[in-house]
Every structure is written in C-alpha cells, then in structure tokens.
Chain A
C-alpha cells in the first residue's frame, strides 16, 4: 500500500509537470534570445552567441522540468512510505478528528498546504491512470474481441470506475498520510530542541540559534509543489471528459 500511494502521487506530479514543460521552454527561448543580444555587444563574448541552439534549449527546458518533478516527488511521495494499514476504522476516524483539530488550532503552512497539494496530485494521478486504463482496454478489446460500439463505452465505463476507485481507495490514504506527516513535523515535540542540543548550548559548544518555528517548516517544498498543483488543477483534471 505505501508503494501504491507513492505511485499515485508520482503519476499526478508527472501529469502536472507534463503541462508545464512547454511554458518552461518558452521561458528558456526568451532568456536565450536576451543573452544572445547581450553577448553580441561584447567582442570577447561574441563566440557565445548561438552556442545554445533550439535542441539545447529543449534539453534545458525538459531537464529543468524533470528536476522540478523529481524535487516535488521527493517532497510529497517520501512521506507516503510511512503509511501503515493496521488500525480499525474507528481509530482512523479518531486520527482524522485529532489531526484536523490540531490543524485548526495551529494552521501552519505544512498542516494546511501539504494535504491539499497531496489531494490534488492524487486526483490528477487517478485521472491519468484512468486515461491509461481507458486506452489500454480499448486497444485490447478492439483486437478481435469486440467492435467499436462495445469496446469504446465499455472501456470508458471501466476507466471511470477505476478513477473513482483509485481516488476513494488510495486518495484519502494519501491525504491522511500527508496530514500525519505535516502534523508530526509541526508538533511542539518536533520543533523543540533535543536534550543533546540543550546540553551543547548550555556548555557553550553550540550557539543558541533561532528556535525552529513550525510556521517556516517545509516552505521550500511547498513553494516547489504549489505551481505544479495549480497546473494540475487547470490542465490535468478534465473530469467531465468521462461524460462527454
């Protein structure tokens, strides 16, 4: 199950990154044109003009997209590995209630944003998976088993069921795990100094730095993942397509 959650969120992150790469390419092309104009004004730098051609621009843009996707994957999918499927549902309801209460009392960016981001990517991943199931089923059914009139609606119906099932079966688990992880990192126990650290400060071996604030935890990861989540909402979640 933890691997399934990792896979679901990773598929959603990739679906979002896939809609962002062309925009990054546009930025890289604009930057290259601007740099070429600047290099052309300096004699020593003129050989650098056109050193980066259209192929290199594409490689740079896609490479940046890949790095961005991998960074978002590390931030959001690694916590999924800590999911444990052992408690009865009554305990799970208690866990949800407790976690949400703490999030309400201390709404840190981690507690609010990470579950939302994970939920968005889980939905985007479920849609991408349903689309793959749709295509694979249609090709398989069409290969001698059923005609177009049967294969298409059947594949679409099964794909929609797959979307619902993956979203419900795995999506809530991913959001719960993200909430647990954010709560664990934001809790006073996590942000407090350990006994060894307190001793080091008292003995002068270490300077007392700024106390860790739960409000600043995970801001970089959240900042990395939020634009991708917005892209997923705008471009990678056409849910009504199942009914058109």
Chain B
C-alpha cells in the first residue's frame, strides 16, 4: 500500500515537474478538450525564471506581452530602483497576491494604503524590501516575499541555505510548489524591472541622441527596421562605462556591430555597447557599475563616430530612456566630454522653419541663447529630440 502511494507521488511529481510530464498533460488536455495548464516545455528549466515570458511568446520576435507597456514604464514614479520595479509589477497581480503584499507591509509597519500612492509607492516598497532583505538574507528573497508572503519566502530561503546554494530567485523558486508559479513570475518581473531602473548611463547623460529607439528608415540598408538601441553622438575615443555591475558575456568584433561589449547584469537584463574603437574588458570578467569597458569609435556598420547602446530585458530590446532617471545617472557623470566636432557628412535635409518671434523674445528676456535652444520653432530637451544625422547606425 505504501509502495503504491510512493509510486503515485512519483507520478504526480513527474507530471508537474518534468517536460515529458508536460507533454503528457498537454496530450491529455487536447484529447479531453480541456485547458492545458502545462507550461511551455523550455520553461521547465530553472533559468527560465527570467525567460518564461520570452519562451512563451512565439517566434518571430514580438513585443513583450507580459511586461508593462512603454507608456506605463515611463510613468512609474521616481524612487529606489527596486521599489519602482516592484511598483510596476505588483499592480498586475491578482487579489490573493495583493493580500500577501499588504500583510508584508503591515509586518514592517508601513501603511498599506500608501503603497498605491503615486508619489510614495516606490519609496515605501523600497523600505519594505530593505527591511525584508535584512530578515531573509537577499533582495531576491525580499521581493519574492512581496508576492508569495513572508512565510513562504522565508521557507524557500531556509531551504536554499540548507542546500548551500545562493539566495537567488531561480534557487528559491525550486523550493516552492507549482501552485506558486504565477507569484514567482511576478517576482521575476519585478526584479527584472528593478534592475533596469537601476541602470546608469554609459557616457555623459547630457550626450545628444543621434538616433532613438524604435522603427526608422535604416540609413544604409534603406528599409524600415527596428532600431534596437539608441545612438549617442560622441567623438572617437570617449570612455564608455558599464551601466551596472555584471559579467562580460561578449567582447568581440564583427563587421556589423564593430567592437562590441555585451554585459549580463543578471535577472534577465543585459546591455550592449557597439562600434567601439578599443575594448578594455574580456569575456567572463566581472565588472562594477561605472567601470570603463571600452573607448567609443566608428567600427562595424557605422557612418560616423557614435556609441550604439542597447538594453534587453528577458531578451526583448527595450528603449533605455524608459528606465533612465536623474537618480540613476548621477553616479556616472563622467569628466567633461570633448567638444563634438561638426559632422563630416551632410545632415539629412530638413525644411527650415522660421522660429516663433514671440518665443525668441521670451528666451532673450530669460537670458537663454535662442540659437542653442530653438529647434523647429520650439524648445526641445537636447537629449531626446535632436534631428537625425548621418552618424546613426
């Protein structure tokens, strides 16, 4: 009898824990005409904690279905990076998770009603995570506690410690049953977004953007193509810094990206720095935020000196400006940049517009040099709406 029970437990584990079990559950669901609750086969590997969204989206590459929309990401209030990430992720959870979040807030003497406050929410989440981190031992465990509750996160952390393994989300997720999968996905999203919000900027934050993220007419290929990063107009030889701590995954050269560095920051976040003239790091090297990793250049498929900076979350390219904040770049302001030389290739012709005379008058009255600020008849933030030029990739 007990042996039969042991066999039944083994079958239950195989059905919910292994890809062959998922295949069989899918086949049974299809035959019975019921909903298939099995995850995609590749999501059964622990590294899929940060990639489950990617693995679920079908090829060819689509925009991320589970991450918040770009407009929502940009609207997340200022605050600690991890607090912003949790604030962005927690609003997509269900009521059961919400109760656990509020219970954790009460545990740490935080008014639960203020968590939804646009002005204070991220800051309070940051406080909650800091206190939970002190109790549980890692930021991953603290964020997990927001979604699965303190007890379950504490249990997972204790099991991970007993196995002498790091308190990372992949390891903690293995200690919890399949019923906690949705909460674990929410925690992974919060950690991914929190890491992204904590990124700095590779060069002086005031550097002009010559080509933003998004669809555009490719300057050399002549077709509509997604520009998967931002082009920063800097002279050759400018020092480029890592935007966060991580491990160098690639430091190589090819005819398209030129001399390229790709850094894996963990939690599904990676950044790429292309067209460099000189690489200062090697594959496998562990680096800290702000470490110099290369000198910018004009290598690869490029029509002028610039840095192509690319951010990927769970293998999906994202606009780095959605996560750029005043707080995150303060630590990375480099020494005064060399003056940008005039472009050697003619600018894309733009029909000149007469500046608004009233605006000119207002600027002069305010002591602002109209020649530096007025573009197309209006004032533009210099790092967002520069006209396109031929240095873009």
Q: Which residues of chain B from 34 to 53 have any CB-CB distance to chain A below 8 Å in the complex? A: 41-42, 44-48, 51
Is B19 on the interface with A (CB-CB < 8 A)? yes
Given contacts A148-B151, A169-B2, contact A18 B46 (CB under 8 A): yes
Q: Which residues of chain B from 157 to 194 have any CB-CB distance to chain A below 8 Å in the complex? A: 158-159, 161-165, 174-177, 179-180
Beta-carbon contact of A37 and B254 below 8 Å: yes
Beta-carbon contact of A131 and B6 below 8 Å: no
Is A1 on the interface with B (CB-CB < 8 A)? yes
A74's nearest neighbour on chain B, judged by CB, is B20
Given contacts A11-B13, A136-B177, A238-B164, contact A131 B254 (CB under 8 A): no
Beta-carbon contact of B6 and A62 below 8 Å: no
Tally of contact residues, A, Cβ under 8 A: 64
Beta-carbon contact of B10 and A8 below 8 Å: yes
Is A188 on the interface with B (CB-CB < 8 A)? no
Beta-carbon contact of A244 and B174 below 8 Å: no
A30's nearest neighbour on chain B, judged by CB, is B283
Beta-carbon contact of B47 and A131 below 8 Å: no
Beta-carbon contact of A53 and B13 below 8 Å: no
Q: Which residues of chain A from 1 to 42 have any CB-CB distance to chain B below 8 Å in the complex? A: 1, 3-8, 10-11, 13-14, 17-18, 21-22, 25, 29-30, 33, 36-37, 39-41
Beta-carbon contact of B2 and A17 below 8 Å: no
Beta-carbon contact of B180 and A139 below 8 Å: yes
Chain B residues with Cβ below 8 Å from A133 are 9
Is B363 on the interface with A (CB-CB < 8 A)? no
Beta-carbon contact of B253 and A54 below 8 Å: no
Is A183 on the interface with B (CB-CB < 8 A)? no
| C-alpha spacing A138/B158, complex, angstroms | 12
Q: Which residues of chain A from 42 to 63 have any CB-CB distance to chain B below 8 Å in the complex? A: 46, 49-50, 53-55, 58-59, 62-63
| C-alpha spacing A133/B250, complex, angstroms | 41
| C-alpha spacing A125/B20, complex, angstroms | 14
Beta-carbon contact of B51 and A58 below 8 Å: yes
Tally of contact residues, B, Cβ under 8 A: 61
Is A132 on the interface with B (CB-CB < 8 A)? yes
Beta-carbon contact of A70 and B19 below 8 Å: yes
Beta-carbon contact of B2 and A66 below 8 Å: no
Interface-central residue, B7, B21, B42, B283, by most chain A CB under 10 Å: B7
| C-alpha spacing A133/B17, complex, angstroms | 12
Contact partner, B3, options A11, A25, A162, A170, Cβ 8 Å: A170
> Distance (Å) between the CB of B249 and the closest chain A CB?
6
> Distance (Å) between the CB of B170 and the closest chain A CB?
9
A residues contacting B by CB (< 8 A) are 1, 3-8, 10-11, 13-14, 17-18, 21-22, 25, 29-30, 33, 36-37, 39-41, 46, 49-50, 53-55, 58-59, 62-63, 65-66, 69-70, 73, 125, 128-129, 131-136, 138-139, 142, 148, 151-152, 162, 165-166, 169-170, 238, 240-242, 244
Please list 29 pairs of residues, one from A and one from B, whose beta carbons are closer than 8 Å in the complex, sorted by A's number.
A7-B7, A11-B14, A11-B17, A11-B18, A13-B18, A14-B18, A21-B45, A21-B46, A36-B254, A37-B252, A40-B253, A49-B255, A49-B257, A54-B315, A62-B42, A62-B47, A65-B45, A66-B42, A69-B19, A125-B13, A129-B10, A129-B13, A134-B175, A135-B180, A136-B177, A139-B152, A148-B154, A151-B151, A165-B2
